Amino acid sequence: MRTPLAALFVISALAFLRSSPCASSQAGGAAPLSDRTQACLSCHTIYTQGIVADWEQSRHARSSVRQALSRPEKERRVSVQAPEEAGVAYPDVAVGCAECHLLDPKLHEDTFSHNGYEVHVVVSPPDCAHCHPVEQEQYLAANKMSRAHGNLAANPVYRDLAEAVAGVRRAGNGDLRSSGGREAAPYESCFACHGTRVAVLGTRKIDARTESVEVPDLSGWPNTGAGRVNPDGSLGACSACHPRHCFSMAAAREPRTCARCHEGPDVPAWNVYENSKHGVLSSASREASAMDVVPWKLGRDFRAPTCAVCHASLIVDTEGAVVLKRTHGFGDRLWVRLFGLVYSHPQPLEPDTTRIRNATGQPLPVTLQGEPAAAFLIPPEEQSRRRRSMMTLCEGCHGTQWTTLHFGQFAATLENVDTAVRQGTALMQRAWAEGWAAPESLFDEALERLWTEQWLLCANGIRYTSAMAGAPDHAAFRGGWWGLSGSLVRLREAVEHGRRTAR
Amino acid sequence: MRTPLAALFVISALAFLRSSPCASSQAGGAAPLSDRTQACLSCHTIYTQGIVADWEQSRHARSSVRQALSRPEKERRVSVQAPEEAGVAYPDVAVGCAECHLLDPKLHEDTFSHNGYEVHVVVSPPDCAHCHPVEQEQYLAANKMSRAHGNLAANPVYRDLAEAVAGVRRAGNGDLRSSGGREAAPYESCFACHGTRVAVLGTRKIDARTESVEVPDLSGWPNTGAGRVNPDGSLGACSACHPRHCFSMAAAREPRTCARCHEGPDVPAWNVYENSKHGVLSSASREASAMDVVPWKLGRDFRAPTCAVCHASLIVDTEGAVVLKRTHGFGDRLWVRLFGLVYSHPQPLEPDTTRIRNATGQPLPVTLQGEPAAAFLIPPEEQSRRRRSMMTLCEGCHGTQWTTLHFGQFAATLENVDTAVRQGTALMQRAWAEGWAAPESLFDEALERLWTEQWLLCANGIRYTSAMAGAPDHAAFRGGWWGLSGSLVRLREAVEHGRRTAR
Amino acid sequence: MRTPLAALFVISALAFLRSSPCASSQAGGAAPLSDRTQACLSCHTIYTQGIVADWEQSRHARSSVRQALSRPEKERRVSVQAPEEAGVAYPDVAVGCAECHLLDPKLHEDTFSHNGYEVHVVVSPPDCAHCHPVEQEQYLAANKMSRAHGNLAANPVYRDLAEAVAGVRRAGNGDLRSSGGREAAPYESCFACHGTRVAVLGTRKIDARTESVEVPDLSGWPNTGAGRVNPDGSLGACSACHPRHCFSMAAAREPRTCARCHEGPDVPAWNVYENSKHGVLSSASREASAMDVVPWKLGRDFRAPTCAVCHASLIVDTEGAVVLKRTHGFGDRLWVRLFGLVYSHPQPLEPDTTRIRNATGQPLPVTLQGEPAAAFLIPPEEQSRRRRSMMTLCEGCHGTQWTTLHFGQFAATLENVDTAVRQGTALMQRAWAEGWAAPESLFDEALERLWTEQWLLCANGIRYTSAMAGAPDHAAFRGGWWGLSGSLVRLREAVEHGRRTAR
């Protein structure tokens, strides 16, 4: 047990390098800090040490854009080609406080004067896009997450659901509406993931440790939701997945990073993954995985896929050939949308889903009878293309037949689940027609809540379990089929006896 | 933070060796590959790299049976004594693709011709048993998991429950039966753990990357359920716990491996363990644990038990003396069956539970009044013997009094829970007698579902919590007593007022 | 992959040192063992190897009090100043079996003669306080956990709730009371965390491995609840967080250690933390964290806070200046009590909450109308002081504005939640007044259970999520607002239609 202390030091340092989600193993001389960043650090190494320490261990703290571009293209973490043309003003310094928080001050409504600098609080995707333009572009063009705020807030049906969650009408004796204003209830529930609209209300004085500072007064802040509407009008928060202030790729590859939002019972992706074969092997081989390597090598750098492997990362084979290109438009590898509204359906054509109208005029991708709003959804050939790209990845570790039969089972399960949901919906429609519930809001009465839980909670558990060959109990007793079929029994009984409540 | 890169390399490699569930630290020269396996690899290193990479890090890839037998008996991972006599055709080559997938082609209904070889898809326990005969024997003789398919599918009461889970009758407006055929709903719920029957339907052409290949068309596949019925008629899937293609012992010792199926709410062993003292200490000392060492040394190789320590592994003390022998008949250390059907009861005499008949003729180990079907269950002396063997292990780390009182509390809790379940069952029987529910199916009506949740979900949470001194909330508010007692209140109210539904 | 075996040995040893929750990296010669401890070990290295192995890796096994005192004060893990005066009889030997189990034999009712020594079974906080007096003092003076047994058992309202959990009256056909006596049901649910009363019933003979031994016969044992009442009359179990027999600080800093009791759905601190940004970063940087270092350095030793960082540990900044002092009175940094009974309210003045009476005479910190029992709760200035101390810590890694707005949102959420709970409580009061439920017990009828779940399960999920910026689903669909608002709909419907049950 006794070992030379020098060795202990070496190991500890190495262990830190290897395992930290921030750690960089990048060789080469560190890039110099800009004067402006040094000015920031002169105070903030005292006042917000944790932020600085986090950043110090980041790649940003050591590498300039120019250095990043000196690597072979496949190994790069920046996508800008010509920094100067793209407006990178300081391509030869490390990426410090100033390089992000002082960018384009006029574009940011939350810019304030601070010790002689025009600083903005909320660093936004356009800021990051100075060096990472392709990522922002893909995110906006092909990732529904970028529109997560508006897709919820500007769709009257979904907004009604959000109201039913956090501020149901006619709930108690009084009218329990969600408190509005800057601290509304959905800010920590729905919009914690969907992203708030961060608005500048004016300025306020806050008592920092040594002085009173006048700063922008923000509503909807703090928030790191993936569809955040920023004070510069942009959409998204890169820090949702690349947490401040190390912004590492390794952190974004951690399944738990996705779990913060993709958690049960409504989106049980994490829960289903956690105890799936993939999840078990991934956590068991955690220490043996190279979470910070680019490109990511199948069968070498990881034993079993994490979320990022299947949905986002650049994956190469053991010879270095590209299996799948990196994408920040996570829809690129998805053909069917599991998250049924109320049925599974082909992925929307565009990330902005507010324009969708189904045949009955509702802003939903499927009618309640099950007819897809095909004009707004990807066509069959695009579905095939995307399914094929996912299967290519599966076939890195599974035989073609295994993969083919798995996806066949998956398609059959979606049909089975949608059939069950259709029965519940038919019962609900009868309840509306016969007056046992009022269709003005679809979510605020007892029967409607029972129906909502069928397609939103139970059905989603089954769908995700099937998609990822996940932990089987999410299809069995943990919600799943047991919950769905039991709920159908109760809903039917209520409707048949003309009751406003299920028992 | 700056360290020599050479050291980094060494550490990374070592870290991989130490931590991977596949990793082998075995010394000695690697065994040669057979020509047949080299033929497989010549293509599959290109097409299914992940499989090959997984296997390359396995013991199989480096060791021949003969080498494995050269170790002292306690350290061995093979149980065959004389390979040639046992039909090990190639005892001096590493265990590669061919050594498993080409074994006994005539016995496997899923054998197909592939580039001149007679390959079968589903490697089965009899294949593994060429080198690991004792394990298969124990698994079949004393592990209910080996009969998990038939015990569910061939028992009319349990089959009825499975129907109620995934295809309840009279659920919605129509008749929501489970879709039959090759992609039935229970394949991803009940039978994902219990194991499917893998049947060969004929052949089908599939589009592999470079060519179209004619392969056996299988139903019930893919599947890794512990009681899978294989195309050769055998029972079980070793890969349920020893995942392909490294098949490591370390992976089987990971609690999460068990969690895939032994998860709440019906079998909350994992949930109860996860935040128990044992679970907390085990995960906290994960990096310090030697998960791949044989034999497994108490107090040295692990700080706190995982599932395998208590239920399966060969455990030795610090002097190397055997504390408990390895067993693949997990019942060997279990006297009482927690999973109440509907009450806890002594373990069945045999893994095949379909023969059990209770005093009222039902295929259940206990009557609904609580009388055990004693003729089919282990007698008191065998219960004592098994309890004693478990206590021996506990006493490795706990004083005799601690252990004795813990097991006393456990027995009292089982009685308490069974008493509560008996009250619910009496209410249910009254409901059947008075016509508030129809006893033709025990699980498809609202009151029956409430009763099922009492013994299957709530009661099991309490029982497992007690057995493993688990996270107390599973006995309190997470289901547990709160759920059980609340459900009894609702069931009683319904029955007393003659209603078909609980409120 | 091949590396020198010597290096492997070094690494393995180091890995063990680094990662084990027991591991000590303490330099300097190990302290000698006392003769008495050597006598214990002469048998127990054979009989309870796991205990001895655990202890051998502890600091206790290597360090004497005198050695511990030789370190600079900030690095000390002992708080005694003058060992001899404090009654430390053997300040120069390692802390072995005898140093704890033979302490003050006359004070311990569970002392028994064992091979010539007067041994007591239950080592209690006063035993630990010989070397760690400040910790015990703080725990008793300012930590409600120290009174967790009495606060539950001696408060008629909470005792009624405990009865409703584990032994509800009028549940089934019979009278399902909790079995009393030594193995009562709440011992493994409520009192597993709150702590049992460990009483000496007499002596009993137990069959240890080689002989029959007469030992104290204990009820309420085994137990490691944080408010355990010990045979010496003292309160608490240090081993609740510092698990036997290494008693490490690292283990107490593991979030899962807290999770055993602070788990959902009633106290979902762990669940909310687990997938919060803090939780995700903490687990992702686990291998890079120095869990056993004193003092704990912000931004260096950990990337993101665990429970202990915010609620207990001595935290210093990168210059070594104290940010927050260590406290075992966890209330020191808490101003508001989230765990609503039935509303959130200022922390109690004293850990013993049995003396609290609200304006309607109930032993509750708030009336059912929402009026706090102000005389028993900390005043506003103390609330501010405590809030300020927590914000100081937050500001180590977050800007002042971020922190300020976060706590503003938190306060608003508590008000929103309490408003919702008030509506449910008003409905419940109407039900009691109109006879739809009987107020003799507040928790044993169907409507009362629905109401209890509103404030105890759903509301707590929202409150904890807000406090810790936790995983948003605990405020949304995992209980949370969806559960709370849905439950209000059902409760209102029942009360308005004059029904004893909700549907």
| Cα–Cα distance, A137 to A150 (Å, whole number) | 18
C contacts of A174 (beta carbons < 8 Å): 423
| Alpha-carbon distances of C66 from C60, C83, C89, C99, C325, rounded to whole Å | 12, 8, 12, 14, 23
Q: How far apart are the first and last CA of chain B?
A: 63
**What global pTM score does this model have?**
0.93
pLDDT band at residue C9 using 50, 70 and 90 as cut-offs: very low
Mean pLDDT confidence for C375-395:
97
Answer yes or no: are the C-beta atoms of B143 and B312 closer than 8 Å: no
| Phi and psi angles of residue C291, each rounded to the nearest 5 degrees, phi first | -80, -10
Answer yes or no: are the C-beta atoms of B454 and B417 closer than 8 Å: no
Alpha helix ranges (H) inside C213-333:
249-253, 255-259, 269-274, 277-284, 307-311
B contacts of A411 (beta carbons < 8 Å): 183
Report the percentage of chain C scoring pLDDT > 90.
Answer: 81
pLDDT digits (tens, 9 = 90+) for A152-195: 999 999 999 998 887 644 445 555 555 556 778 889 999 999 99
Which tokens sit at B110? 């899923």
Sorted by sequence, the CB contacts under 8 Å of residue B29 that are 6+ apart come out as none
> CA-based Rg of chain A, rounded to a whole angstrom?
25
If you average pLDDT over every residue of chain A, what do you get? 90
Mean pLDDT confidence for A68-78:
96
Residue A264: pLDDT above 90? Answer: no
Interface of A with B in 155-174 (CB under 8 A): none
| Cα–Cα distance, B471 to C193 (Å, whole number) | 9
B contacts of A473 (beta carbons < 8 Å): 261, 263-266
Looking at residue C99, what DSSP letter applies? H
Answer yes or no: are the C-beta atoms of A41 and A52 closer than 8 Å: yes
Which residue from C19, C280, C31, C281 is spatially nearest to C131, judged by alpha carbons?
A: C31
Among candidates A276, A317, A478 on the partner chain, residue whose Cβ is nearest the Cβ of B265: A478
Mean pLDDT confidence for B461-471:
96
Residue C22: pLDDT above 90? Answer: no
Among candidates C20, C176, C263 on the partner chain, residue whose Cβ is nearest the Cβ of B275: C263
Q: What is the dihedral of CA B460, B464, B465, B471, to 10 degrees?
A: -100
| Cα–Cα distance, A254 to A240 (Å, whole number) | 12
Q: Is A8 on the interface with B (CB under 8 A)?
A: no
Per-residue b or e along A313-343, where b marks 16 or more CB atoms closer than 10 Å to that residue's CB: bbbbbbeeeebbebbbbbbbbbbbbbbbbbb
Kindly provide the ipTM of the predicted complex, given to two decimals. 0.93
A contacts of B121 (beta carbons < 8 Å): 399, 401
Interface of B with A in 22-41 (CB under 8 A): 22-23
Q: How many residue pairs bridge chain A and chain C with CB atoms within 8 Å of each other?
A: 235
pLDDT digits (tens, 9 = 90+) for C186-243: 899 999 999 999 999 999 998 877 788 899 999 999 999 999 999 999 999 999 999 9
Mean pLDDT confidence for A440-464:
94
pLDDT at C466: 97
Amino acid at C331: G
Residue A397: pLDDT above 70? Answer: yes
Three-class DSSP labels, A235-268: ECCHHHCCCCCCCCHHHHHCHHHHHCCCCCCCCC
Q: Is B416 on the interface with C (CB under 8 A)?
A: yes
pLDDT at C287: 85
Closest residue in chain A to residue C399, using alpha carbons only: A48
| Cα–Cα distance, B320 to A280 (Å, whole number) | 31
pLDDT digits (tens, 9 = 90+) for A199-219: 999 999 988 777 888 999 999
A171 vs C332 pLDDT, higher one: C332
pLDDT at B181: 66
Mean pLDDT confidence for A117-134:
97
pLDDT band at residue A472 using 50, 70 and 90 as cut-offs: very high
pLDDT digits (tens, 9 = 90+) for B348-374: 999 999 999 999 999 999 999 999 999
Residue C141, Cβ neighbours under 10 Å: how many? 14
Q: Is C268 on the interface with A (CB under 8 A)?
A: no
Among candidates C18, C395, C476 on the partner chain, residue whose Cβ is nearest the Cβ of A190: C476
**Element (H or E) spanning A316, and its range?**
strand A315-316
C256 vs B286 pLDDT, higher one: C256
Amino acid at B249: M
Residue C197, Cβ neighbours under 10 Å: how many? 17
pLDDT band at residue C99 using 50, 70 and 90 as cut-offs: very high
Which residue from A195, A114, A88, A200 is spatially nearest to A147, judged by alpha carbons?
A: A195
Which tokens sit at C186? 């709440």
Q: Is C201 on the interface with B (CB under 8 A)?
A: no
pLDDT digits (tens, 9 = 90+) for C264-308: 899 999 999 999 999 999 999 988 899 999 999 999 999 999 999
Among candidates A18, A277, A299 on the partner chain, residue whose Cβ is nearest the Cβ of B53: A299
**Element (H or E) spanning A204, and its range?**
strand A199-207
Residue B83: pLDDT above 50? Answer: yes
Sorted by sequence, the CB contacts under 8 Å of residue C72 that are 6+ apart come out as none
Sorted by sequence, the CB contacts under 8 Å of residue A90 that are 6+ apart come out as A34, A64, A99
Interface of A with B in 287-316 (CB under 8 A): 287-288, 290, 298-300, 303
Location of structure tokens 């921030």? A22
Which tokens sit at B437? 């529910």
Residue A210, Cβ neighbours under 10 Å: how many? 9
Residue A13: pLDDT above 60? Answer: no
pLDDT at B238: 98
Which residue from C164, C186, C162 is spatially nearest to C447, judged by alpha carbons?
A: C164
Residue B177: pLDDT above 70? Answer: no
pLDDT at B17: 40
pLDDT at A164: 84
C contacts of A5 (beta carbons < 8 Å): 27
A contacts of B54 (beta carbons < 8 Å): 299, 303, 397
Which residue from B269, B238, B234 is spatially nearest to B255, judged by alpha carbons?
A: B269
CB atoms A50 and C408 under 8 Å = no
Q: Sheet harboring C322-324: ordered strands across?
A: C296-297, C315-316, C322-324
